A and B are shown apart, each in its own frame.
Chain A
């Protein structure tokens, strides 16, 4: 009895978490427009989705923005973090506090700040403002994930590299960066998911005709559009596949290694 209750509780929580996901997948195959009654199996919303130009464009912009924002914010964030780790206390404190602003402020405040900023400069909102905004809010997260690694770094190693004839650039690429690779990688991953999923900041900084998946979904809720379910299902399937590859494959490898050890 004592062991059953916690299990049921967890099962209910998981049901709550997965209910909308299951729902979306089921209704993406619905024959009718209805979101409440399943009338029969059909793939029409998938074909409609691929035929809807706005959806295809939203997917395109989401991916392009996420990829560019990830690359740029990872490079800038890495360079800035390395510089910051060698700076004095005052500069460290200032940069950390400034970086905290977009992370602690409500997203909507960061978003309208950027929107007012672009408009004040008479920059027309669109692809470039969207990209700039994404880069701006991604960098602090990249730095947050790299800084702890740099703190653990042994300064003497880079000094030794310089003593042994490395140029500062070589010391950077051959000594420092390989040691903080883990932090850079997880920073890039955070940046990508942040950018890919962002709604609030995108909503306020994009211009007419440029939508990402989030702003498209928001603009299409006024009329029921089951193609959104089809789109969501595809996103869910892609994320699940990525998760299986990143989580299950290492697990299987581990198990195989263990078995090999046993045989040996």
Chain B
């Protein structure tokens, strides 16, 4: 039995090579200049300096964050009622509804976004709105499923108790249902915000060529321009911002629980 623990060793080697080393290579590229060879490595902060000094890059980063935050808020506003209504249905209908929400997700994200491109092609709306539609469309199911999971775990007796203690429907919702479903909302926020910040094919397909978010910037520097060091620096900045925002979201959750 004890011997079984050796079974994980090959995977540890694999994970070290295929997961850890690639991350270290990104960090390495971000802190060095072009034309690196192992023989002469020049460490530099130039890539980061260039990113933060240039107004254009800061604007792109700001726009990506704003779009991701608004997308997340829209998903909560639309997704919460949806999850709530589903959670109140009969058990059989709940399963059917969840299946209906899941099915479109099984179809390739590119294919679905391509379809929206056709629908929105000749509509006279701003590129921003088109990108929002594409983002909400792709990420809303994550929010609905997370909130639904936390709502369906909720003990119905708690609501009955709240009513017995004199709460009306609204009070019971505000004081019992809503606080207990916050973990689902938090999980949903992570699942929506993260892909929304880094998305690059949704803005490219729906917003048009001039619509640039931080994901497009990374794509451009790696694929079109070929300045990998600068591209790596942008990725690192984006990852750190995402980590900080995830940390803050989690902290919000803990603080609420502590109170």
A binds B: yes
Chain A interface residues (CB < 8 Å from chain B): 6, 9-10, 13-14, 16-21, 23-24, 27, 35-36, 76, 79-80, 82-84, 86-88, 91, 94-95, 98-99, 101-102, 104-110, 112-117, 120, 132, 136, 139, 155, 158-159, 162, 168, 171-172, 193, 196-197, 199-200, 204, 213-214, 217-218, 221, 228-229, 231-232, 235-236, 239-240, 243, 247
Chain B residues closer than 8 Å to A171, beta-carbon distance: 1
Q: A27-B118, A106-B238, A113-B26 are in contact. Are A217 and B11 (CB under 8 A)?
A: no
Query: What's the nearest-Cβ distance from chain A to residue B41, in Å?
Result: 13
Minimum CB distance partner of A91 in chain B? B8
Q: Complex Cα distance A87/B9, Å?
A: 10
Count the B residues whose beta carbon is within 8 Å of the partner chain — how many? Answer: 72
Q: A83-B5, A86-B1, A106-B238 are in contact. Are A10 and B86 (CB under 8 A)?
A: yes
Chain B residues closer than 8 Å to A139, beta-carbon distance: 11, 14-15
Minimum CB distance partner of B78 in chain A? A13
Contact of A20 with B8 in the complex, beta carbons under 8 Å: no
Q: Complex Cα distance A106/B215, Å?
A: 10
Chain B residues closer than 8 Å to A232, beta-carbon distance: 107-108, 111, 114-115
Within 8 A of A (CB), among B176-227: 194-195, 197-198, 200-201, 205, 215, 218-219, 222
Contact of A106 with B198 in the complex, beta carbons under 8 Å: yes
Contact of B25 with A80 in the complex, beta carbons under 8 Å: no
Minimum CB distance partner of B6 in chain A? A83
Q: A105-B239, A158-B1 are in contact. Are A13 and B112 (CB under 8 A)?
A: no
Chain A residues closer than 8 Å to B160, beta-carbon distance: none
Within 8 A of A (CB), among B1-24: 1-12, 14-16, 18-23
Contact of A199 with B25 in the complex, beta carbons under 8 Å: no
Q: Complex Cα distance A13/B22, Å?
A: 40
Q: A10-B86, A243-B103 are in contact. Are A110 and B1 (CB under 8 A)?
A: no
Contact of B112 with A115 in the complex, beta carbons under 8 Å: no
Chain A residues closer than 8 Å to B26, beta-carbon distance: 109, 112-113, 116
Answer whether residue B60 sits at the interface, using C-beta atoms and an 8 A cutoff: no
Chain A residues closer than 8 Å to B99, beta-carbon distance: 243, 247
Chain A residues closer than 8 Å to B218, beta-carbon distance: 108, 112
Contact of B110 with A132 in the complex, beta carbons under 8 Å: no
Contact of B114 with A76 in the complex, beta carbons under 8 Å: no
Contact of B19 with A101 in the complex, beta carbons under 8 Å: yes
Contact of B235 with A112 in the complex, beta carbons under 8 Å: yes
Chain B interface residues (CB < 8 Å from chain A): 1-12, 14-16, 18-23, 25-26, 29, 78, 81-82, 85-86, 88, 97, 99-101, 103-104, 106-112, 114-119, 121-122, 137, 141, 194-195, 197-198, 200-201, 205, 215, 218-219, 222, 228, 231-232, 235, 238-239, 242, 246
Contact of B85 with A168 in the complex, beta carbons under 8 Å: no
Chain B residues closer than 8 Å to A13, beta-carbon distance: 78, 82
A-B contact pairs, 20 of them (CB 8 A): A14-B101, A20-B119, A21-B115, A80-B10, A80-B11, A83-B5, A83-B8, A84-B11, A86-B2, A95-B15, A98-B15, A104-B246, A106-B195, A108-B219, A116-B29, A136-B18, A159-B1, A162-B1, A221-B117, A235-B107
Q: A13-B82, A114-B22, A116-B26 are in contact. Are A108 and B198 (CB under 8 A)?
A: yes
**Quick one: which of A10, A94, A112 contacts B232, CB cutoff 8 A?**
A112
Contact of A109 with B239 in the complex, beta carbons under 8 Å: yes
